[in-house]
Amino acid sequence: MKKSNIVLLVLIAVAIGVIVTVAGDFSTYETFATARQKEGKEFQVIGTLDTTKTMVYDAAKDANLFTFYVKDKSGDVCKVIYFGTKPTDFEKAESVVLTGKMIKDGEFHCGKILMKCPSKYKNDQVAVGNKV
């Protein structure tokens, strides 16, 4: 075998190893129940804001502490503590994706929030659909 073929095979093996390692880091959306089973491990949980419970944000007291409740896709409601400022128009979000960890007392400590806001075109599409 030529040296160039051996080097090429080694590079392909290294590339496959890197792909397998990186693919293991891709996460799917989980539930709060899964996060409780594996406390301390970071998860992404998708859910909706539970508006029946109060949100707590006092910028004068601590601008980097926001507490609220989220209902995940299985219907489980959990207290979420976000260590950051309250996102603008948070109450208007259709759904939220939380990246964080469950801790021992059943609270989800969140480091990142992604919000899915309502589409501004949603009403226009319904109106167009009714005209036909």
Residue by residue, DSSP assigns 49-114 as E-TTS--EE-TTT-TT-EEEEEEETTS-EEEEEESSPPPTTGGG-SEEEEEEEE-TTS-EEEEEEE
127 against 92, higher pLDDT: 92
Q: Does a structural domain hold residue 59?
A: yes
pLDDT of residue 97: 92
Res 24 pLDDT > 80: no
Confidence of residue 41 (pLDDT cuts 50, 70, 90): confident
Arithmetic mean of pLDDT, 64-85: 92
Domain membership of residue 18 (yes or no) is no
pLDDT band at 131 (very low <50, low <70, confident <90, very high): very low
Provide the number of structural domains found in the chain.
1
Q: How confident is the model at residue 27 (pLDDT cuts 50, 70, 90)?
A: low
Q: 57 is in which domain, residue-wise?
A: 26-118
- The whole-number pLDDT of residue 59 equals 86
Does residue 81 fall inside a structural domain?
yes
Tokens of 126: 């319904």
Report residue 132's pLDDT band, with 50, 70 and 90 as the boundaries: very low
For residue 18, which phi and psi values (nearest 5 degrees)?
-65, -45
CATH label of the domain that carries residue 73: 2.40.50.140
Residue 107 in any domain: the answer is yes
127 class by beta-carbon count within 10 Å (0-12 exposed, 13-18 middle, 19+ buried): exposed
Contacts of 31 (CB under 8 A, 6+ apart): 45, 72, 73, 74, 76
Residue 125 lies in a domain: no
**Is 89 part of a structural domain of the chain?**
yes
Residue 41 is classified by DSSP as: S
Confidence (pLDDT) at 127: 45
